[in-house]
Chains A and B, each alone.
Chain A
Amino acid sequence: MASFTSLGFLFRFLPIFLIVYYFVPSKFKNLVALLGSLVFYSLGEPIFVFLLIFLSLVNFFIANASCRAKKSTSKKKNRPKIYLILVILLDLISLVTFKVLIAAGFNVLLPLGLSFYTFKMLSYQIDVYRGTIKEGPPILEVITYFCIFPQVAEGPIMRFREGDFFDEKKITLLNIENGLRYFIPGLAMKVLLADRIGILWNDLGMYGYESISTPLAWLGAFAYSFELYFDFWGYSLMASGLMVAMGYEFIENFNHPYASNSISEFYRRWHITLGSFFRDYVYFPLGGSRTSKPKMVLNLSLVWILTGIWHGNSLNFILWGVILGLFIILEKLFYGEFLKKNRIIGNIYVLILIPLSWVVFAISDFPKMGTYFSRLFPFFTTAQVVDQGDIFTYLGDYWYLIIAAVLLCIPKITDLFRKYKDTVAVKILLVLLFWYSVYFCTISEGNPFMYLNF
């Protein structure tokens, strides 16, 4: 039930939650949100829900102590800093312990959403330390922020002050209606597009990368790029749609990354809340770009190695981060301006490089990754057993999904949707999309979100 695409969530948890949330007086809404979130989380993680509660409480009390120390006499001047270091260590140790255990081959899974909610906690602590969050906010608001169910599993990594937790929320049907306008497209992207294009990528692994033709290897790289994008964008839309239904502001996590003209722009538009986390809490404090060139290169390298580590538990993720960091550094130092002026070239550059980087992201086994690249660029090797016509088989099966995916990557197309969002046609389309997606979830017992184990 801890997945937005299960019938249990859509027709049990969500309606019951929304009805209660809708009817309780404003001052109890945070409490209902918190209780609902703990129920939601414990349905997915009956044991690690206690880790979430524990970390939430510790983070609240330390931040609270830090706020008090700031107000008191100068004797305790160093206290906030000590608190900050302590709590950062605690949050990071929780996250890193699990990651190390997994990397070392222990049979454990990362607790649901750990990498997302610890990042929320870190941002909260740093904001308190910096004074962006002033008065120590009440316990209920803070814990609700850490645990709130739309975001607890896969983000977006919302900041505390983006969440207007103090407002007396007056939820009307309009809030829920508006939420649905984000939620339904997200659901459809995930179920009707990402999961199904994912089968193509899966097939390539099944037959072995050594047996795919070069055109199919490229199609596979694009297919995986689409799968990842619509899976995660879809999830973010669902999460933010739920937040809107609960009276919060919409949090944008994706803004047409594939229309970018450089890798740096791509990552300002892809998983925006993670990118801005690293920007505000790592890159800027280190001096960002307003420093000497060698220092900037160092800063960017650090940010991108951390980004790689955050994404996974095997070496290929670090390699992925290093490659992206490298291109971003090259852009900053050399050809960034050129790409800005030649937008079409920039876009082609992005559309070739990013799918290749996703291949590195997707294949954790290095020899297999090598094989895949030798099929993408078959200049030095000759393949043995290849079905030369395979690209046509797959285009025959997937052409309509590929067209839909390409169209949704074009900003003008989604602008149309936004422009006509109040027309009857779009509303009918939304209802139909909802039922078609629900039908699909039901008959194909969803495969869990790809980002869920991160």
Chain B
Amino acid sequence: MEDRTTLNRQLAQMLKGGVIMDVTTPEQARIAEAAGACAVMALERIPADIRAAGGVSRMSDPKMIRGIQEAVTIPVMAKCRIGHFAEAQILEAIEIDYIDESEVLTPADDVYHIDKRKFRVPFVCGARDLGEALRRISEGATMIRTKGEPGTGDIVQAVRHLRMMQSEIRRLVSLDDDELYEASKQLRVPFDLVQYVHRNGKLPVVNFAAGGVATPADAALMMQLGAEGVFVGSGIFKSGSPEKRAQAIVKAVTNYDNPSILASLSEDLGEAMVGINESEIQLLMAERGK
């Protein structure tokens, strides 16, 4: 495999067991870093506000992203629109550590995703099932996250997506070698990736949970379901005491299977972000880019 792809997959390995937090200012970035975030996602508006504002949502101002890069020593990620390779080129030019080709922004291309193999910087992409995950990996994504439903504070979709991926992985593992060709056809993904999952029982890249994580318990739930780390978007800086909640979610990811530690982490966190139920949302971001 190409050197860059391997190095980029390996950076994601270093993020495992960690929390990646959405931040909109250098000050929030510093709070996130001090709270123990393993990376930050720099964006102008967090998903809950994007959802509230409506309209077309685009890549953030590079100057604003640079401000955040200068504020912290941990990796800085930023989002570009699905298929918008020019935005991705700009993010590469400012030496972003990871690009999120994200359904949270308005898609720029309703057919094609970015050919991520043309880039030297790594990409993370969202997926709702195994087919989507493997298609993104084949395009060059070196990290996957569930799509969930961003900006809602509702974990149901992230759970659905992760459970779907895990059950499809288990199914592939159980197949005979000669059944893998048909599986590759049904999933609409390259055969070698199907073969990898069949042999290893996991994706060839790190898989995080994202979309709707609002509490330490949400983070623990996703980790127990098999996520290797979590993204928290609106959940932290839309809550009553961001600093405390950020720290609690970081520690919940480390001790995700220890209920007594989780109980003490869940105490006195103040108000959680106001959630929106799945049935109340008009725009399903997860439906963007399959």
Chains A and B are bound partners = no
